[in-house]
Amino acid sequence: MQLEETDAERYILELLKEKGTLKTSDIEEETRKKGVECPDETVRFLTKMKLKGLIKGKMSIEERTWVWWV
């Protein structure tokens, strides 16, 4: 089930508050487990949230992916 933008933002915020810093793939796995999808490609949606100032994120050299946190 694809979430509306505000519902997806709320879900991502709750997930990051609960689990702490997560990689993009971790967030994708959690959404799959829950049976929901972001309104856009996950990394693009997370980047939009970052630009809005809702979450923080950076490219991790060690992980070779983006990591996200609140």
| pLDDT tens-place values along the chain, 70 residues long | 888 999 999 999 999 999 999 999 999 999 999 999 888 899 999 999 999 999 999 999 999 999 999 9
Q: How far apart are CA 59 and CA 14, in angstroms?
A: 21
pLDDT of residue 1: 86
CATH number of the domain where residue 25 is located: 1.10.10
Positive or negative torsion for Cα 35, 41, 43, 48: negative
pLDDT of residue 37: 87
pTM, two decimals, is 0.91
Positive or negative torsion for Cα 7, 9, 12, 16: negative
Say how many domains are in the chain: 1
pLDDT of residue 39: 86
C-beta atoms surrounding 8 within 10 Å: 21
pLDDT of residue 40: 87
Determine the structural domain holding residue 51 and report its residue range: 5-69
